[in-house]
């Protein structure tokens, strides 16, 4: 687990001049900024674990901004992305926002616009970072469950009674009751409702009664 | 006594005068006259000669008179001095009178007698045998004398003796003179006289006759010797001639050769006959011989000439003949004429045939009369030449008629007939060809003139003199530049200005300020056999209208190109905005950063300098984009410059950069930098490159992998080839052929002009544009441009 340092702003733009000027601007606002002239260069980096955001040019030779967003979006702790483009059009910005971009700035933009976006993105990053920590915590707790308990969990969060679960799994109702108690204890929750919220966070699907 | 004495004289005279040689007659007569005068006591005795040739005169041939007294002239005018006496003598009468008893009509005679002191006289005519008067014999006394009958009678006898003697002497003299004349004539004429005694076979021959055989004058020629000298081939001929002559009284003539001692051959002609009056028992053949070698040689030479002339006449296809001037009968003709008739009418012509004898077939009576008129015209007006169309009309003869004259006398008409049918046909053909040429020449709408080496007009067609507005005659011989431009020299830009350097066709557009017209002129030299240009075909076309149309077309084309560029600009707006937004973003960010640094009081002057430099650079960058945009849309005249093609490619790629970014297209370039120079209109070539890249980009809309590859390299023939490849779906086979057509497009939006214009731009630069599908994916457009030849001068 890494310590939470000052946020870092990554500027990815094939235009060296744009990169340089944005670095300056960010620096004037007290941000640490790092520039990359292509997506490929950025990906070569050791994955960044801290808070921060990416200012990403949409159109670049090679891997473009949108493609890079797709790649980065697959990890839970990805940095928020602020798209900048010299050729802003609405369909593209909509698509970008859907994919989780925090902002879409058409070039040229005022420093205030950029900084507002950066502040927002860094905040988001921080939250992501925090929830990410929470999730890690949860996962560690889930890891403590036995395979049998792991098997029972979906039935519990689906709201089935012990009897029903026992029938479904063809084991004794009493055993189910023990499992339920252990699960509640291991995961540190006091109610089923709490358990359901936690499972949801951990992406554990409840048992589908229709199946 | 008297009588006896006289008889003695007379007897003596008679005896002496018989058979007296002629040369003694004169002295005998002199003696006789003197003896008679002394005997009869006469004072004077004269013998006079008279001839028909000089009837008025008497010439003294013999004279007796004692010394003293008036001298007598040798010749007297008898008609003047003795008219009466002459009359009596001519009448054959004898006179014997005393002067004082003379009749009255003898007054003039009496005066003469008185002058000489004559008292009495007797005159006797001299006429031998009472025939021709040859003279008179006269006696006179200075005292009175009585002429008795006896005396007169006796003197009469003397006169008769004298007359006979003198007559004989005269005839002998005449004979001798005539012999001499004959000899002289025969010698002069080279004629030899001869007499052959047949009994003895001996010749009597004149020196001239012997000379013919180169024999000495005293040579005794006999028949055998003569025969031996005759050329062996002619001996029979001679013998035959002699036989013929001996059996007739007529002349026999023979021409033969003799061989002289030195071997030379001499031609002789001899003419002989039996001695006249001795026919029957002839023994003498007389004749003349003449050297005819020269004539025979001349004849041989003439025969040679004749043969040569005949050969010449026969060697030609032309018709040659002569006719007599009376009835125009053929004298001579060559085979060509004979063939002409044989083939024409089947007639075999012979000597003597007149035109009217030749009638038959197509040679009608009218034709014969026509021929007569041809001959008559020559006789009347002298030699002439005229074309004669034969009666069938199929042939044309050029007839030359001439008169043959000998000593000013026309003895024939010669005709030379040349068959000019073929020539006439050729002439007609040439005439037709000339007419064709002239018509063609005149129908050429361009002005065409043929000039000599001094630029003078030899020929000008209708268009030329129409343009010049002068009749053809006034153009000929004048200088082209004078006519066309009213100048002393051709315009400097006319190829004729350097007329002697023109070795091949040269053409140019020139502007004539006088007529305010544009002329497209060309000069084609015509060379003589030595390869020197002696004439020039000078053509000029009024291209004022097409020049204007060309200019208009150029302007509209330029406008079209500009329109297309504007349209292309429209398509590129987004990417251009992107390209402009980049520097604008940098500028704004840099400016804000600087302001914040200043506000925060953390300003580092070096930092500020960097920022300002960057702002300036980005501003410049934006300016360049604007500038190239302006170049794309400005309607300026096209201007070609020599520039490295790599510079043009770089700029085109950078202009397309934004578009490539927006469309997510990779643009790869492969070419050496710098490429050699090309002479191009940069804006237009940029337009082509932009069109090709935009088309490539459009074709790859549906592709995941989007890449444009631009290559450029030098190819053979001094050209540079540029290829623009995409990796789209390529071009459908059915569209490959039409892709450059105007208004052809596969895009939903688009003018359909891009490729059409691009190709026309490349072709206007002397290049070609092609398209082909790539083996794997996509299509490749390529074009070639000629490299500037003077690349060395660049840079």
Alpha carbons B383 and B404: distance in angstroms, whole number: 10
Homologous superfamily of B444-542 in CATH? PAS domain (3.30.450.20)
Residue A24 lies in a domain: yes
A208 located within any domain:
no
Chain B residue numbers with beta carbons less than 8 Å from the beta carbon of A60 are 661
Residue A127 lies in a domain: yes
- Ordered DSSP codes for B641-693: EEEEHHHHHHHHHHHHHHHHHHTT-EEEEE--SSPPEEEEEHHHHHHHHHHHH
Mean pLDDT over residues A115-135, rounded?
Answer: 88
pLDDT digits (tens, 9 = 90+) for A97-106: 877 788 888 8
- Dist. CA A23–CA B593, nearest whole Å: 9
Mark yes or no for CB contact A18/B664 under 8 Å.
no
Query: Is the model's pLDDT at A210 over the cut of 80?
Result: no
User: In chain A, what percentage of residues exceed pLDDT 70?
Assistant: 93
Nearest Cα residue to B83 out of B109, B59, B60: B109
Residue B664 to residue A111, Cβ atoms within 8 A: no
- State how far residue A177 is from chain B, nearest Cα, in angstroms: 56
Q: Name the more confident of A56 and B53.
A: A56
Among A62, A87, A111, the residue with its CB nearest the CB of B589 is A111
**Residue B395 corresponds to which tokens in the numbers above?**
């042939």
Dist CA A43 CA A63 (whole Å) = 10
DSSP letter, residue B361: T
Q: Please report the pLDDT score of residue B231 as a whole number.
A: 92
User: Do A30 and A134 fall within a single domain?
Assistant: yes
Q: Tell me: do A107 and A177 sit in the same domain.
A: no
Q: A15 to chain B nearest CA, in Å? A: 7
Nearest in space to B274 (alpha carbons), one of B298, B309, B250, B310: B250
Q: How far apart are CA B244 and CA B240, in angstroms?
A: 6
CATH of the domain at A176: 1.10.10.10
Determine contact, residues A65/A56, Cβ cutoff 8 Å. Answer: yes
* β-strand partners of B668: B709
Percentages helix, strand, coil for chain B, rounded to the nearest 5? 45, 25, 25
Q: What are phi and psi of A202, to 5 degrees?
A: -85, 5
For residue B346, the 8-state DSSP code is -
> Are residues A149 and A119 both part of a single domain?
no
pLDDT value of residue A23? 93
Cβ contact (<8 Å) for B590 and A59? no
Mean pLDDT of chain A: 85
Q: Are B680 and B648 in contact (CB under 8 A)?
A: yes
Q: Do domains B2-175 and B190-298 have the same CATH topology?
A: yes
Residue A135 in any domain: the answer is yes
**pLDDT recorded at residue A32:** 92
Contacts of A87 in chain B (CB under 8 A): 574-575, 577-578, 581, 658, 661-662
Q: From CA B560, how far away is CA B221, in angstroms rounded? A: 132
Q: What is the pLDDT of residue A77?
A: 66
So what's the pLDDT on residue B276?
A: 61
Query: From chain A, which residues contact B within 8 Å (Cβ)?
Result: 14-15, 17-18, 20-22, 24-25, 27-29, 59-62, 64, 84-87, 106-111, 114
Q: How many angstroms separate the CA atoms of B422 and A200, rounded?
A: 124
- pLDDT tens digits along B526-536: 888 888 888 88
In a domain, A178, yes or no: yes
CB B123 within 8 A of CB B83: no
By the 10 Å C-beta count (0-12 exposed, 13-18 middle, 19+ buried), B732 is classed as exposed
Cα gap B695→B684, rounded to integer Å: 16
Total domains in the fold of chain A: 2
In this structure, what token pair is assigned to residue B307? 């043969």
pLDDT value of residue B790: 60
Closest chain A residue by Cα to residue B579: A86
Domain B316-424 coded CATH 1.10.150.120: no
Local structure of residue B19 (DSSP, 8 states) = T
When scoring B591, B621, B661, B667 by the number of chain A Cβ atoms within 10 A, the one with the most, hence best to mutate, is: B661
At residue A183, does pLDDT exceed 80? yes
Chain B residues within an 8 Å CB radius of A17: 582-583, 586, 614, 617-618, 621
Query: How confident is the model at residue B279, as a pLDDT?
Result: 46
Domain check: are A126 and A159 in the same one?
A: no
* Shared-domain flag, residues A111 and A61: yes
Instruction: Pick A25's closest partner by Cβ from B583, B592, B621.
Output: B592
- The candidate with the shortest Cα–Cα distance to A46, out of A28, A37, A34, is A34
Nearest CA in chain A to B663: A59
DSSP string, B113-125: HHHHT-SEEEEEE
Chain-chain contact of A84 with B585 (C-beta, under 8 angstroms): yes
In a domain, residue A1? The reply is: no
Q: Dihedral of the CA atoms B557, B561, B563, B566 (nearest 10)?
A: -160
Who wins on pLDDT, A90 or B456? B456
Question: Does residue A127 share a domain with residue A105?
Answer: yes
Same domain, A153 and A133: no
Cβ contact (<8 Å) for A106 and B589?
no
Say if residue A10's pLDDT is above 90: yes
Cβ-contact B41, B144 below 8 angstroms: no
Token readout for A11 is 């500027």
pLDDT of residue B69: 65
Interface test with A, best of B585, B616, B707 (most A CBs within 10 A): B585
Interface touch A18/B666, C-beta < 8 Å: no
As given in the structure block, the two tokens for residue B532 are 């020197």
Q: Determine the residue of chain B that is closest to A86 in CA distance.
A: B578
For domain B190-298, give the fold.
Beta-Lactamase (3.30.450)
Task: Pick out chain B residues at pLDDT < 50.
Answer: 278-279, 793-795
Tell whether A135 and A150 lie within a shared domain: no
| Cross-chain CB nearest to A15 (options B575, B582, B587) | B582
Calculate the CA B81 to chain-centre distance: 81
The residue in chain A having the minimum alpha-carbon distance to the alpha carbon of residue B621 is A17
Considering only CB atoms, B614 lies closest to which of A17, A29, A61, namely A17
Residue A21 sits in the same domain as residue A120? yes
Q: What does pLDDT average to over chain B?
A: 84
Q: Which fold has domain B543-637?
A: Helix Hairpins (1.10.287)
Q: Where are the domains of chain B?
A: 2-175, 190-298, 316-424, 444-542, 543-637, 638-795
Q: What is the CATH number of the domain that holds A56?
A: 3.40.50.2300
Distance CA B441, CA B447 (A): 9
Fold of B638-795: Heat Shock Protein 90 (3.30.565)
Question: pLDDT tens digits for B175-191?
Answer: 887 777 777 777 767 78
- What pLDDT score does B747 carry? 65
Nearest C-alpha of chain B: how many angstroms from A32? Answer: 14
Predicted confidence (pLDDT) per residue in B121-140, tens digit: 999 998 887 778 889 999 99
Kindly state whether residue A182 falls inside one of the protein's structural domains. Answer: yes
Mutation target among A9, A12, A17, A27 for the B interface, most CBs of B within 10 A: A17
Give the range of the structural domain holding residue A87, as residue numbers without chain letter. Answer: 8-139
- The DSSP code sequence of B548-603 is HHHHHHHHHHHHHHHHHHHHHHHHHHHHHHHHHHHHHHHHHHHHHHHHHHHHHT--
pLDDT recorded at residue B726: 93
According to CATH, what is the number of the domain B2-175?
3.30.450.40
Predicted local confidence at residue B218, as pLDDT = 86
Per-residue confidence (pLDDT) for residue B603, from 0 to 100: 80
8 Å CB contact of B614 and A60: no
DSSP state of B250: S
3-state secondary structure of B65: coil
Residue B350's closest CA among B325, B330, B365, B367?
B330
Same domain, A116 and A154: no
Q: Do A122 and A58 belong to one domain? A: yes
- Whether residues A167 and A103 fall in one domain: no
């Amino acid at each position: 687990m890494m310590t939470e340092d000052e946020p870092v702003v990554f500027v990815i733009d094939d235009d060296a001049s744009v990169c340089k000027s944005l670095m300056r601007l960010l620096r004037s606002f007290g941000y640490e900024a790092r520039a990359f002239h292509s997506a490929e260069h950025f990906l070569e980096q050791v994955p960044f674990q801290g808070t921060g955001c990416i200012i990403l040019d949409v159109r670049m030779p090679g891997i473009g901004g949108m493609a890079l967003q797709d790649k980065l979006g697959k990890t839970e702790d990805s940095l928020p992305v602020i798209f900048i483009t010299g050729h802003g059009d609405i369909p593209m910005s909509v698509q970008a926002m859907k994919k989780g971009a925090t902002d879409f700035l058409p070039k040229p933009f005022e420093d205030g616009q950029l900084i507002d976006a950066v502040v927002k993105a860094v905040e988001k990053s921080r939250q992501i970072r925090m929830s990410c920590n929470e999730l890690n915590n949860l996962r560690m707790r889930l890891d403590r469950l036995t395979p049998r308990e792991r098997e029972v969990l979906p039935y519990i969060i689906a709201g089935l009674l012990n009897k029903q679960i026992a029938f479904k799994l063809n084991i004794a109702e009493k055993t189910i009751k023990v499992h339920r108690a252990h699960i509640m204890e291991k995961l540190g929750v006091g109610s089923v409702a709490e358990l359901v919220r936690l499972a949801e966070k951990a992406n554990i699907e409840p048992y589908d009664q229709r199946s | 006594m008297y009588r006896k004495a006289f008889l003695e004289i007379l007897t003596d005279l008679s005896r002496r005068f018989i058979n007296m040689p002629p040369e003694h007659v004169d002295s005998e007569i002199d003696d006789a006259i003197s003896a008679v005068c002394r005997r009869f006591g006469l004072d004077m005795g004269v013998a006079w000669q008279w001839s028909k040739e000089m009837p008025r005169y008497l010439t003294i041939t013999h004279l007796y008179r004692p010394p003293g007294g008036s001298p007598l002239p040798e010749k007297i005018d008898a008609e003047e001095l003795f008219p009466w006496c002459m009359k009596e003598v001519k009448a054959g009468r004898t006179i014997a009178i005393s002067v004082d008893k003379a009749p009255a009509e003898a007054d003039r005679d009496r005066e003469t007698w008185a002058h000489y002191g004559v008292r009495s006289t007797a005159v006797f005519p001299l006429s031998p045998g009472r025939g021709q008067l040859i003279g008179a014999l006269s006696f006179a006394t200075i005292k009175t004398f009585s002429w008795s009958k006896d005396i007169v009678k006796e003197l009469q006898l003397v006169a008769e003796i004298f007359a006979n003697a003198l007559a004989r002497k005269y005839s002998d003299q005449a004979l001798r003179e005539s012999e001499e004349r004959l000899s002289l004539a025969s010698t002069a004429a080279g004629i030899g006289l001869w007499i052959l005694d047949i009994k003895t076979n001996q010749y009597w021959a004149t020196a001239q006759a012997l000379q013919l055989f180169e024999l000495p004058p005293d040579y005794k020629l006999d028949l055998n010797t003569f025969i031996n000298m005759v050329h062996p081939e002619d001996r029979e001929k001679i013998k035959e001639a002699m036989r013929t002559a001996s059996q007739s009284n007529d002349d026999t003539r023979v021409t033969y050769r003799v061989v002289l001692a030195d071997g030379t051959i001499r031609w002789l002609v001899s003419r002989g006959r039996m001695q006249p009056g001795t026919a029957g028992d002839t023994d003498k053949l007389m004749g003349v011989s003449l050297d005819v070698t020269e004539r025979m040689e001349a004849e041989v030479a003439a025969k040679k000439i004749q043969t040569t002339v005949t050969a010449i006449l026969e060697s030609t296809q032309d018709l040659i003949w002569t006719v007599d001037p009376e009835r125009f009968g053929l004298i001579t003709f060559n085979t060509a004429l004979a063939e002409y008739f044989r083939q024409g009418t089947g007639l075999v012509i012979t000597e003597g045939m007149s035109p009217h004898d030749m009638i038959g077939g197509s040679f009608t009576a009218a034709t014969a009369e026509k021929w007569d008129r041809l001959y008559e015209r020559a006789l009347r007006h002298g030699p002439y030449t005229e074309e004669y169309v034969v009666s069938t009309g199929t042939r044309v003869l050029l007839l030359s008629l001439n008169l043959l004259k000998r000593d000013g006398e026309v003895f024939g008409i010669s005709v030379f007939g040349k068959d000019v049918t073929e020539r006439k046909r050729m002439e007609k053909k040439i005439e037709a060809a000339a007419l064709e040429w002239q018509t063609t020449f005149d129908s050429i709408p361009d002005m065409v003139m043929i000039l000599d080496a001094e630029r003078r007009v030899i020929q000008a067609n209708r268009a030329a003199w129409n343009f010049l507005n002068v009749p053809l005659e006034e153009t000929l011989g004048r200088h082209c530049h004078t006519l066309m431009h009213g100048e002393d020299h051709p315009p400097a830009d006319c190829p004729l200005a350097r007329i002697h350097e023109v070795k091949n066709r040269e053409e140019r557009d020139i502007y004539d300020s006088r007529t305010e017209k544009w002329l497209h002129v060309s000069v084609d030299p015509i060379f003589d056999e030595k390869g020197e240009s002696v004439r020039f075909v000078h053509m000029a076309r009024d291209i004022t209208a097409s020049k204007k149309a060309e200019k208009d077309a150029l302007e509209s084309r330029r406008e079209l190109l500009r329109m297309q560029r504007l349209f292309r600009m429209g398509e590129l707006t987004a990417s251009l905005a992107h390209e402009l937004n980049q520097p604008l973003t940098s500028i704004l960010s840099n400016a804000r950063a600087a302001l914040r640094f200043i506000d925060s009081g953390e300003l580092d002057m070096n930092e500020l300098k960097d920022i300002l430099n960057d702002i300036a650079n980005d501003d410049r960058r934006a300016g360049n984009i604007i500038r190239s945009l302006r170049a794309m849309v400005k309607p300026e005249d096209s201007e070609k410059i020599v520039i490295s093609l790599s510079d043009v490619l770089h700029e085109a790629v950078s202009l397309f950069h934004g578009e490539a970014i927006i469309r997510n297209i990779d643009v790869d370039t492969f070419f050496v930098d710098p490429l050699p120079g090309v002479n191009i209109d940069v804006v237009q070539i940029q337009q082509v490159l932009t069109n090709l890249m935009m088309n490539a980009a459009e074709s790859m809309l549906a592709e995941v992998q989007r890449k444009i590859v631009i290559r450029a390299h030098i190819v053979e023939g001094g050209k540079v080839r540029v290829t623009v490849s995409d990796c789209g779906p390529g071009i459908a086979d059915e569209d490959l052929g039409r892709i450059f057509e105007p208004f052809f497009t596969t895009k939903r939006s688009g003018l359909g002009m891009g490729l059409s214009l691009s190709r026309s731009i490349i072709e206007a630069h002397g290049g070609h544009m092609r398209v082909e599908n790539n083996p794997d994916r996509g299509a490749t457009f390529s074009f070639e441009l000629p490299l500037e030849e003077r690349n060395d001068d660049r840079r």
